[in-house]
């Protein structure tokens, strides 16, 4: 941990602030969101489909507006979009805790999603700009703070929600309000103009800029190849907890085993990310690290696949081990694969963008991967249902292993053909 803090201090103040901001953003978000569904269905008594609608609106507004948020960041500057996103999330989270009408809940949920679409591309583009030649290391450190917020947030939320969910909402809103003030006062102004981009860019229309990005074939191919990585990592929240509860039940053991999944995933990243990145950067090209990261993610489901060959005990320690150990190993391997790939993934986006319209590229990338996650989760859920109905428990794990292998193969093809290299400068679109 001392090494992580020392590395943080080696960056300029703006990068340090972005790291702390991301930790705090995730702290405020994850202390509330895991408990929102229970509040909507329990305290407010909404029907299940209405709970799904409120949560779905948040996801849709975020995924659907990433490209717009990135475009605005490149045109207006990174800082205004970061501040606007935090202010909007302040309003959204406070509203979620204070209202009970469906219309107000939907508006608040949409606001919280739009907030993420505003600040996420801007934060990453800002970090890439100020980290300079140390982009890869900066994104590794960024992931440490990102995961720390995810890990701590639900614990704080559990304590506050135990008193009253409204307190959780107001505390989370207060965190984002404080973030807004700190960033207004301390975060230097940065924007696309600071990246020495062509002067013609400012005169381009938004549609012309979007057409230029959509014509960037290597970027689109890379985005498509990376969709699988997000589908695979999301299984920590989908198929792995379901597998734990399928074997271990919904009682105290199942709850504790699922908590261990999240703890293993977060703690391994916090403790190992910067070391893994340094090790990979010293030995591999960025494309090679990406290939290895996706391969490890695919192999993460081998323990679960192997466990399907073991007879399921009726009860006792054997059942607990079978329910907890393979999913925990899978969560650990998924975390390792992500540690290998993530910093090089973020750096590759900047390089494929030609260091131009970086926030817009991040926005489109997030939208593509977000759509992929939705479709991937639908297919994973269908595979889980089909496996149970057909008595073929290995089916989902074979499918996920194959997905990781296919994505690694796609990245290998892009790397071998030079499509992951920095492109030659191109004239601006008109």
Domains 12-196 and 204-417 agree in fold = yes
- Segment holding 203, helix H or strand E: none
Which of 58-62, 144-148, 223-227, 303-307 has the least mean pLDDT? Answer: 58-62
Please tell me the predicted confidence (pLDDT) of residue 387.
82
Which has the higher per-residue pLDDT, 274 or 430?
A: 274
Residue ranges per structural domain of the chain: 12-196, 204-417
Nearest CA to 223 among 368, 122, 120, 15?
368
pTM, two decimal places: 0.89
Residue at token pair 């190992």: 272
Q: With 60 as the cut, is the pLDDT of residue 202 above it?
A: no
At 204, is the secondary structure helix, strand, or coil?
Answer: coil
CA atoms in the 13 A half-sphere facing the CB of 315: 0
Longest dimension (CA), the chain: 70
Output Rg (C-alpha) for the chain, integer angstroms.
Answer: 22
Residue 185 above 50 pLDDT? Answer: yes
Q: ∠ CA(232), CA(335), CA(60), 5° rounding?
A: 45
Average pLDDT over residues 252-256: 78
> Residue 374's pLDDT band (boundaries 50, 70, 90)?
confident
Q: Kindly state the average pLDDT of the residues 65-80.
A: 94
Report the CATH superfamily, name and number, of domain 12-196: MFS general substrate transporter like domains (1.20.1250.20)
- The fold for domain 204-417 equals Growth Hormone; Chain: A; (1.20.1250)
DSSP result, 305-329: HHHTTSPPPSSSHHHHHHHHHHHHH
- Spatial contact of 128 and 346, defined as CB atoms under 8 Å apart: yes
Q: Is the pLDDT of residue 199 over 70?
A: no
Whether residue 201 has pLDDT greater than 70:
no
What is the reported pLDDT for 197? 52
Give yes or no for residue 407 having a pLDDT over 90: yes
- 430 has a pLDDT exceeding 50: no
Q: Which of 102-106, 163-167, 172-176, 315-319 has the lowest mean pLDDT?
A: 315-319
**CA–CA separation, 18 and 1 (whole Å):** 18
CA–CA distance, 70 with 67 (Å, rounded to integer): 5
User: Mean pLDDT, to the nearest integer, of 335-354?
Assistant: 95
- Give the CA distances from residue 298 to residues 113, 201, 241, 295, 312, in Å, rounded to whole numbers and listed in that order: 30, 40, 18, 5, 24
The rounded percent of the chain whose pLDDT value lies above 90 is 60
**DSSP per-residue string spanning 1-68:** -HHHHHHHHTS-HHHHHHHHHHHHHHHHHHTTHHHHHHIIIIIS---HHHHHHHHHHHHHHHHHHHHH
Residues of the chain with pLDDT > 70, as a percent, come to 94
Higher pLDDT, 5 or 73: 73
Q: What end-to-end distance do the CA atoms of the chain give, in Å? A: 49
Using pLDDT thresholds of 50, 70 and 90, give the confidence band for residue 239: confident
Q: Which long-range contacts (CB under 8 A, 24 or more apart) does 383-390 make?
A: 384/239, 384/242
pLDDT in tens, 90-136: 999 999 989 989 999 999 999 999 999 999 999 999 999 999 889 99
DSSP letters, 56-100, are HHHHHHHHHHHHHHHHHHHHH-HHHHHHHHHHHHHHHHHHHHH--
């Amino acid at each position: 941990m001392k090494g992580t803090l020392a590395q943080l201090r080696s960056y300029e103040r703006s990068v340090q602030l972005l790291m702390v901001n991301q930790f705090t953003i995730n702290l405020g978000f994850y202390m509330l969101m895991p408990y929102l569904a229970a509040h909507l269905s329990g305290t407010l008594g909404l029907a299940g489909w209405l709970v799904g609608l409120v949560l779905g609106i948040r996801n849709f507004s975020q995924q659907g507006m990433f490209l717009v948020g990135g475009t605005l960041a490149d045109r207006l500057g990174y800082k205004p979009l970061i501040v606007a996103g935090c202010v909007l999330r302040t309003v959204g989270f406070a509203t979620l805790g204070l209202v009970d009408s469906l219309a107000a809940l939907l508006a608040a949920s949409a606001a919280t999603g739009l907030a993420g679409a505003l600040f996420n591309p801007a934060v990453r583009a800002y970090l890439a700009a100020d980290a300079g030649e140390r982009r890869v290391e900066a994104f590794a450190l960024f992931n440490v703070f990102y995961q720390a917020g995810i890990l701590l947030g639900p614990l704080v939320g559990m304590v506050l929600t135990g008193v009253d969910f409204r307190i959780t909402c107001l505390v989370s809103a207060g965190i984002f309000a404080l973030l807004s003030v700190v960033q207004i006062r301390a975060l230097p102004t940065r924007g696309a103009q600071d990246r020495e981009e062509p002067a013609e860019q400012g005169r381009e229309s938004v549609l012309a800029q979007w057409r230029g990005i959509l014509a960037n074939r290597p970027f689109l191919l890379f985005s498509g190849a990376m969709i699988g990585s997000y589908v695979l990592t999301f299984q920590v929240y989908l198929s792995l907890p379901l597998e734990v509860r399928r074997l271990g039940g919904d009682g105290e053991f199942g709850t504790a085993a699922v908590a261990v999944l999240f703890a293993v995933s977060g703690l391994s990243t916090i403790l190992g990310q910067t070391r893994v990145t340094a090790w990979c950067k010293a030995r591999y090209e960025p494309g090679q690290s990406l290939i290895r990261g996706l391969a490890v993610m695919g192999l993460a489901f081998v323990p679960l696949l192997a466990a399907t060959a073991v007879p399921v005990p009726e009860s006792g320690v054997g059942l607990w081990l079978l329910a907890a150990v393979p999913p925990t190993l899978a969560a650990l391997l998924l975390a390792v694969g992500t540690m290998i790939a993530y910093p090089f993934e973020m750096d590759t986006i900047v390089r494929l963008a030609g260091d131009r319209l970086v926030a817009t590229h991040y926005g489109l990338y997030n939208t593509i991967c977000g759509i992929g996650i939705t479709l991937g989760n639908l297919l994973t859920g269908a595979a889980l249902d089909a496996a149970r109905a057909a008595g073929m428990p290995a089916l989902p794990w074979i499918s996920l292993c194959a997905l990781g292998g296919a994505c690694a193969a796609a990245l290998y093809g892009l790397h071998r053909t030079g499509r992951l290299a920095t492109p030659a400068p191109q004239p601006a679109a008109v």
